[in-house]
Chain A
Amino acid sequence: MKKFLIPLGLFFGLVVFLALGLQRDPHEIPSPLINKPAPAFSLPTLDPAAGGFSPADMQGRVWLLNVWATWCVACRQEHPLLVDFAQRHQVPIVGMSYKEIQPQDVQAQGMDATAKLQFARERSQVWLSRYGNPYVLSVMDLDGRVGIQYGVYGVPETYVIDKQGVIRYKAVGEVTPAILASKVLPLIQKLNAS
């Protein structure tokens, strides 16, 4: 009976469609910044002695930009992987401390900008000395405006930026060993070779 097969076929088509939909993560929004120059910025660094940092300083090197914060739970999960990566590879990771001071940090609310930066620096330093520091340096994006330039909508996020300063890849959420092995490392090799 051929007629019987038509709704069955439609049904299985629907099943495949929905199954594919369920496998995808709706929180992973493709970034329009891929293959676009990394937005320029100038921010204070975590280490006051290091002065400031701008992406132009990394010209000629393939590097990673990792958005993190001490209040971010997923960052702590991802952190050992970054520490391990930094020890094993010659690829610099620049950290971007994103909105370190949160509304629930009541003690920091009345502070002026300098005191806030100081507060955020101290807390970030403590966190890094406890969990390890994979970053060549970290910049402090306290109000999250540079984050908006990069299309950050959650922490952590990780960008691979090439020698010309072009964003080549963006990982939303935790970088897992699988993502590192299948996406990030091959891409870095390719970019370093070119």
Chain B
Amino acid sequence: MGALHTSALWAELVAARRSRVAAFGQPARRGLAASLSLAVAGLFQLPAAAQGPQPAAAVVSASAAATTPHPVASAAPAAAVATAPVATGQAVASPTSTLGPEAAPMTDEPVLEARLLKLSEELRCLVCQNESLASSRAELADDLRREVRSLLREGKTDPQVKDFLVERYGDFVLYRPELKPMTWLLWFGPFVLLLGAVAGLGWYLRQRRQLAQTAPALSDAERARVDQWLKD
């Protein structure tokens, strides 16, 4: 059992490293473009530019994007342009500026992606078990998101997609499993415990009250001793 745990942990570590590698694919080119725009920003002291309009920084980093032929490599400067408006004011908004193209949207199907996101937040990743399918970076989560995406594209409804996953991975994939005899304990267990605790407390309080009523009254000598203790 211990070995399985360790290997699962290892798999997570590997998956994390992998997705990092994927995120920073083509490190040399993108790194160059990114550091170039950083250097440019440093040259023009971007924070200082906040005091007055300083469009030059944005223009130069945009031209860096324009001269870099690779689309992936241009993504980094494009992001720099996107954050530039804070510092440079209308320079970006102006239609006559010599900016590079806008950063491409992440998806052509925003409605579908929104559905996927909403749905996958309700689904549990099987590899990193306390993460949702939406947040997990495990490779299987990627595959499952792809599968859900294609099911949605086929016109399946949300319950149908959930059924698809439950048929293969069991109720475990649902963060809110269906109410049925198997899950009664899960759904009602906490309330049963709470009721039990409240009943126990009530019983205990009643016992105490009865004890107070039936206890013999203090004698004068005892009362005097109590008064003495209280004074001390």
Contacts and interface: CB of A to CB of B under 8 A. Distances in A.
Contacts of A26: 129
A92 to B, nearest CB: 24
B130 to A, nearest CB: 10
A148 B167 CA distance: 11
A73 B169 contact: no
Given A102-B18, A103-B139, A153-B127, A145 B169 contact: no
Contacts of A30: 170, 172
A147 B147 CA distance: 12
Contacts of A174: 3-4
Interface residues of A, number: 27
Interface in A97-130: 99, 102-104
Contacts of A99: 139
Given A73-B7, A103-B139, A153-B126, A32 B22 contact: no
Given A29-B126, A74-B7, A144-B143, A151 B169 contact: yes
Given A102-B18, A103-B22, A104-B18, A27 B5 contact: yes
Interface in A8-38: 23, 25-27, 29-33
Interface residues of B, number: 27
Nearest to A22: B1
Given A32-B167, A153-B127, A153-B169, A148 B143 contact: yes
Interface in A138-194: 143-145, 147-151, 153-154, 173-174
Classify the secondary structure of A's interface with B.
loop
A154 B129 CA distance: 12
Contact of A173 (B4, B21, B169): B4
A42 to B, nearest CB: 18
A29 B7 contact: no
Given A29-B126, A154-B127, A103 B168 contact: no
Given A103-B21, A103-B139, A104-B21, A32 B168 contact: yes
- What are the 6 A-B residue pairs with the smallest beta carbon separation, nearest first? A153-B126, A151-B168, A32-B170, A29-B172, A151-B169, A103-B18
Interface of B: 1, 3-5, 7-8, 10-11, 18-19, 21-22, 126-127, 129, 139-140, 143-144, 147, 166-172
27 contacts: A25-B5, A27-B5, A27-B8, A27-B129, A29-B170, A30-B170, A31-B170, A32-B166, A32-B169, A32-B170, A33-B167, A33-B168, A99-B139, A103-B18, A103-B21, A103-B139, A104-B21, A148-B143, A148-B144, A149-B168, A150-B168, A151-B169, A151-B170, A153-B126, A153-B169, A154-B126, A173-B4
Interface of A: 23, 25-27, 29-33, 73-74, 99, 102-104, 143-145, 147-151, 153-154, 173-174
